[in-house]
Amino acid sequence: MKISVIGTGKTGSKVVEMLGENLAYAFDESSPPTIEKLKESDAVIIFVPGDAVAEILPVVLESGIPAAWGSTGFSWPEDLENKVQKMETKWVLATNFSLGMNIIRNAIEAISAGSEILKDPIFKIHEVHHVNKKDAPSGTALSWKEWLDKDAEVTSEREGDVNGIHELKISTQTEEITLKHEALDRGLFAEGAIWAAEQLIKNQNLMNGIYTFGQLFDFITKNND
């Protein structure tokens, strides 16, 4: 199994390191991906800033290989699903490749349902990332708000070399509930991205098309029962 990586920044470099002998190519600004080289790979993992996605999107699509995207701060084309299916391949688009984040997703959905019995709850989501992260709020924070499906204030903070802290706080006049996730090492995102790419390659039950990381996680775990 050979996997290429596009983007060798903070997280992409971790992916390259963890792939070891399974790495096909590592592409960056000085060595951009080509369709020919991507086709030599079984899949590709992409960690580039949102403003770089538009340039490499057609190359990845034309290669026809499975792709695990960890890019945020980009509005995906509305017809992307049709294009991916037309190329008869599989993509996963993730705002966060932490496998533990899927536990958080289930917890937030349960909190959302349970909060219906609370009196006038106030929902706040706060995220903290390193100073070089360009998009704010983070894609993960926006996913938290989507999972919560409530009117929630979302705030952001950029400091030092923080890997990622997300916190949901629900307050009423008589109590406060806090849910927090902290990424202690970027290796967790690399592990999740490699896991996702491997599933796209080897799981024959996955239909062609686009999956969120949560959809992929649920599909694999339910079908492994």
Nearest to 53 by CA among 81, 72, 25: 72
- Peptide linkage before 137 cis (omega within 30 of 0): yes
78 φ/ψ angles, rounded to the nearest 5 degrees: -65, -25
Residues 86 and 107 in one domain: no
Same domain, 88 and 112: no
Do 43 and 72 share a domain, yes or no? yes
Domain boundary among 165, 182, 199: 182
Q: Are residues 91 and 8 in the same domain?
A: yes
57 and 114 co-located in one domain: no
Are 61 and 160 members of one domain? Answer: no
CATH of the domain at 167: 3.30.360.10
Q: Is 130 a catalytic residue?
A: no
Are 49 and 159 part of one and the same domain? no
Instruction: Name the strand (E) or helix (H) holding 43.
Output: strand 43-46
Question: Are 64 and 130 found together in one domain?
Answer: no
Of the listed 133, 145, 166, 181, which one is catalytic? 133
In the chain, the number of structural domains is 2
The one catalytic residue in 90, 129, 145, 181 is 129
Whether 89 and 195 map to the same domain: the answer is yes
Instruction: Say what the pTM is.
Output: 0.84
126 is catalytic: no
Same-domain pairing of 127 and 20:
no
Q: What is the CATH number of the domain that holds 13?
A: 3.40.50.720
Q: pLDDT 10s digit of each residue in the chain, 225 long?
A: 999 999 999 899 999 999 999 999 999 999 999 999 999 999 999 999 999 999 999 999 999 999 999 998 889 999 999 999 999 999 999 988 999 998 999 999 999 999 999 999 999 999 999 998 888 999 899 999 999 999 999 999 999 999 999 999 999 999 999 999 999 998 999 999 999 999 999 998 999 999 999 999 999 888 765
Give the SS3 label for residue 205. Answer: coil
Report pLDDT for 15. Answer: 97
Residue 73, pLDDT score: 84
Alpha helical stretches, state H, the chain? 12-19, 35-38, 50-63, 80-86, 101-114, 139-148, 187-202, 213-223
